[in-house]
Structure 1
Amino acid sequence: MRVLNLTELEQQALVSHLNMADGHPRQDPTDEQWKIIHALPELFEVALALPADHIEEHAQRAFFAMLGQHRAPIADGRVFSVYSSSVATMVVGNVLAQRQHRLALLHPTFDNISDLLRRSVTVLPVGEDDCAPPALDEIVQQGATSLFVTTPNNPTGWYLDSAALKTLAEACKVNGILLCLDTSFRGFDVRAQYDTYEILDRSGVSYIVIEDTGKIWPMAELKLGFLAVSDDLREAVAHALSEVLLSVSPLVLKLVETLSLDAAASGMGALHELIATNRSRVTAAVADLPGVAVADPDARVSVCRLRFDSAEAASRVLGLLRGSGIHLLPCQQFHWARPGEGGRYLRLALARNTVDVDTALAHLAEATRTR
């Protein structure tokens, strides 16, 4: 039987009693976000009235500034808007294929990244601890000409701090490595909100960065992705993007701009508080469960890995939870090169109402104690 990918499992969870599987935000909107939702007709009128390039620039500036990315190359025309981070990843794959790259990809990470990229280029796994010299020398020796890093990472929450990124970017420059970053979970961790683009452009490295709004706001999948690139890749990325996309919705651009301004004012703090509260509830509940632990206690992203004593125990609990209509994700598929390494882990979503997290934890406790 074919092993389902993570998105297929998440699709099953969409129609379940309690979806704790996907990392998309499914908590209730804040009061300010409800005001923005109710203002959608007005945003629609504005989107129709203003020039498309004006709307896009304002949305990009608001979003990148919200995340501390003040040197993002918007004015240089090196930021492109796309439907989602997955579309952005497809474009990256096309660019890599056209240039005949051999890619080193972070391991573990969400499996659709490897699935999409392996259709285009040869992909080698690289661990989180190996995204720095001298370990970088090994992937160069294996023939890698590009490196793809998810930071913060899904599902572990690991991230590159500013010093580590500087070192990595400079090493990639020296070795002629194209550096690709997926920062879709950056919004959850202020430690990852230093100005990435100042570091990248100063190093002179060739780079592609994927940014994403889809993990941040509970907007019924109204979202955008962005591709930001070094100057030497602008033309190639623009051409690859033209093969799959004419333009994104100006209405969604206006929505992203408005949400970004709210987030910069106070909304991001509310999101961080929700995720921290839900993570603390998980930590407290798991502390009383035999054979279960929070795997990444320092993580701040909107997902949480649970580590079990064995893969068999994790699989049994996952099955019992599904039988009760509670869906979590197994972690084998995150370990796309060596699935067995993820067998002991389950991933629980935290971008949920706290009452839903508490319900899931109650079922988790019951399943864990069932023999």
Structure 2
Amino acid sequence: MNAARAGSTVASCSTTNSLNAKMHSEVEQQRKPSLTAFEIQALSAGINLTDGHPRQDLTPSQRKIVERLPQLFDQAGSQDFNELERRSQRAFMDAVGQACAPVESGRVHSIYASSVATTAVGYAMARCGGTIALLHPTFDNLHDLLSRHLHVVPLEEPYDAAAAPAAVAAQGATAIFLTTPNNPTGSYLDESQLQDLITGCLKHDLTLCLDTSFRGFDPRAQFDHYEHLEGSGVRYVVIEDTGKLWPVLELKLGFIAVSKHWQTEFEQVLSDILLSVSPLVLSLVEKLAEDAANGGLQRLQELMIVNRTTVANAVAEMPGVVCPDTDARVSVTRIQFPSAVAADRVHAGLLERGIHVLPCGPFHWAQPQKPVDTLRVALARNPDEVARAMTQLRDVWTELRA
């Protein structure tokens, strides 16, 4: 960042922070319940298809790893922490195709969860500029966490990757934050789009932030992003996440990979947030990542195909209802109804039957009062559970149309 730009940022910091606090307060007063609030309500539900966390049964190979937890516990406590962390990070990155991730250079940092990583991004970016462009629609807690420190402007999906950097820079943004693949739509950046974004961010002095938490579900999103990022000189932050992949009762890690430009800043920010992650969880992630590389990810992707097909088949029997994201491969899917009123009635009817899904309104965080005609269904579940929920969905729709 040049000196003039840095100086103007510091000079306006107080005013910007005051304005951001006011805007955040106003948005909070207008907003409906958050997506996480709906997910918390569903934790003890009859059928919980809200959160994107994995709740299917362990595979046989995953079961064997979990049965080794006492052994892993003893080993983790006696190993060199730095070496264990490096092995865990490398095993995960390799499993999802990221061979050029800067693990060995110490620019990948372990954190408890991807939400903690987003918090760290907000802290760090606030020191260097007051505005960040965030993909829209996307999961609302990304906006909530970032807007505590930054002014957040929407980058509407679909967008032109070549034109987006100039467009957001014109709004005063110093960074772009994208989820790829996106939740809830399943859209993803291909190699050409990523290169266009990198070129534009270099031209307009922007940091490129990517949240790749759903990467493991879509092989098309598993080309080596770091090969492009590291060789370009662009300022970047990438959030990786293990918490969507393996049903191990929230034993998970997130990782933040940063360019050289951001290393010192993130070391300082993260030192304010945590001391270290658990060596046991590092060891568990290492073993699960090795299993993922040896067929585990393919088995997970096959489960998503089964459950996505079950949803699509049910919707095909519901006149006026469609699945809009026909190309998506992530662990969630949207169902679109003829109107927002119809979607609300179906949501209420499902709740009466003990079936919990997510209303999609809060994903549209920049338009909190806009009626939304879609519901989101989580797919990382046992097939029989999804099938039972879809039977109930068809019944609710039939009753509403009678």
Q: TM-score, normalised by structure 2?
A: 0.91
Shift of 1:133: 2.2
Secondary structure, counterpart of 1:293 in structure 2: coil
Match of residue 226 from structure 1: 255
Q: Which moved more, 1:34-43 or 1:133-142?
A: 133-142
Q: Separation in 1 of the partners of 2:198 and 2:249?
A: 36
| Structure 1 residues not aligned, in runs of 5+ | none
Alignment of 1:78 with 2:88, yes or no, is no
Q: Separation in 1 of the partners of 2:237 and 2:381?
A: 31
Letter in 2 for 1:5: S
Shift of 1:125: 0.2
Where do residues 312-351 of structure 1 align in structure 2 (5 Å cutoff)? 312-339=341-368, 343-351=372-380
Q: Separation in 1 of the partners of 2:88 and 2:199?
A: 31
Shift of 1:239: 0.5
Of 118, 137, 143, the match for 1:89? 118
Alpha-carbon contact 1:334-1:342 (below 8 Å) kept: no
Q: Separation in 1 of the partners of 2:338 and 2:205?
A: 42
Alpha-carbon contact 1:89-1:117 (below 8 Å) kept: yes
Q: Separation in 2 of the partners of 1:280 and 1:47?
A: 41
Alpha-carbon contact 2:166-2:200 (below 8 Å) kept: no
Shift of 1:131: 4.9
> What per-residue deviation string (whole Å, max 9, x for no partner) do you get for residues 203-243 of structure 1?
21100000000000000000000000000100000100000
Alpha-carbon contact 1:331-1:342 (below 8 Å) kept: no
| Structure 2 residues not aligned, in runs of 5+ | 1-28
Alpha-carbon contact 1:130-1:136 (below 8 Å) kept: no
> What per-residue deviation string (whole Å, max 9, x for no partner) do you get for residues 167-208 of structure 1?
111110111011100000000000000000011112211000
Alignment of 1:162 with 2:191, yes or no, is yes
Alpha-carbon contact 1:88-1:226 (below 8 Å) kept: yes
Shift of 1:254: 0.2
Match of residue 304 from structure 2: 275
Alignment of 1:67 with 2:106, yes or no, is no
Shift of 1:98: 1.4
Q: Separation in 2 of the partners of 1:346 and 1:202?
A: 40
Letter in 1 for 2:289: S
Match of residue 279 from structure 2: 250
Match of residue 318 from structure 2: 289
Secondary structure, counterpart of 1:57 in structure 2: helix
> What per-residue deviation string (whole Å, max 9, x for no partner) do you get for residues 145-187 of structure 1?
1100000000000000011101111110111011100000000
Alpha-carbon contact 2:32-2:368 (below 8 Å) kept: no
Alpha-carbon contact 1:172-1:205 (below 8 Å) kept: yes
CA separation of 1:10 and 1:247: change in aligned 2, threshold 3 A:
same
Alignment of 1:172 with 2:201, yes or no, is yes
Letter in 1 for 2:148: R
Alignment of 1:194 with 2:236, yes or no, is no
Match of residue 54 from structure 2: 25
Secondary structure, counterpart of 1:292 in structure 2: coil
Which 4+ residue blocks in structure 1 deviate beyond 6 angstroms? Answer: none
Alpha-carbon contact 1:328-1:349 (below 8 Å) kept: yes
Secondary structure, counterpart of 2:362 in structure 1: coil
Q: Separation in 1 of the partners of 2:202 and 2:367?
A: 29
Letter in 1 for 2:140: D
Where do residues 137-156 of structure 1 align in structure 2 (5 Å cutoff)? 137-156=166-185
Letter in 2 for 1:254: S
Letter in 2 for 1:12: Q
Give the paired residue count: 371
Letter in 2 for 1:99: C
CA separation of 1:270 and 1:369: change in aligned 2, threshold 3 A:
same
Alpha-carbon contact 1:101-1:146 (below 8 Å) kept: no
Letter in 2 for 1:294: C
Letter in 2 for 1:8: A
Secondary structure, counterpart of 2:158 in structure 1: helix
Q: Separation in 2 of the partners of 1:270 and 1:146?
A: 36
Shift of 1:135: 3.8
Shift of 1:342: 6.1
Secondary structure, counterpart of 2:42 in structure 1: helix
Of 5, 22, 41, the match for 2:70? 41
Secondary structure, counterpart of 1:129 in structure 2: coil
Letter in 2 for 1:351: A
Alpha-carbon contact 1:131-1:168 (below 8 Å) kept: no
Q: Which moved more, 1:247-256 or 1:198-207?
A: 198-207
Letter in 2 for 1:14: L
Q: Which moved more, 1:125-134 or 1:69-78?
A: 125-134
Q: Separation in 1 of the partners of 2:396 and 2:165?
A: 42
Shift of 1:266: 1.2
Q: CA RMSD in A?
A: 1.1
Secondary structure, counterpart of 1:27 in structure 2: coil
Alpha-carbon contact 2:129-2:173 (below 8 Å) kept: no
> What per-residue deviation string (whole Å, max 9, x for no partner) do you get for residues 292-339 of structure 1?
100101000000000110000000000000011100000010000013
Of 319, 324, 329, the match for 1:300? 329
Alpha-carbon contact 2:88-2:283 (below 8 Å) kept: yes
Q: TM-score, normalised by structure 1?
A: 0.98
Shift of 1:370: 1.4
CA separation of 1:317 and 1:192: change in aligned 2, threshold 3 A:
same
Letter in 2 for 1:117: L
Alpha-carbon contact 1:333-1:342 (below 8 Å) kept: no
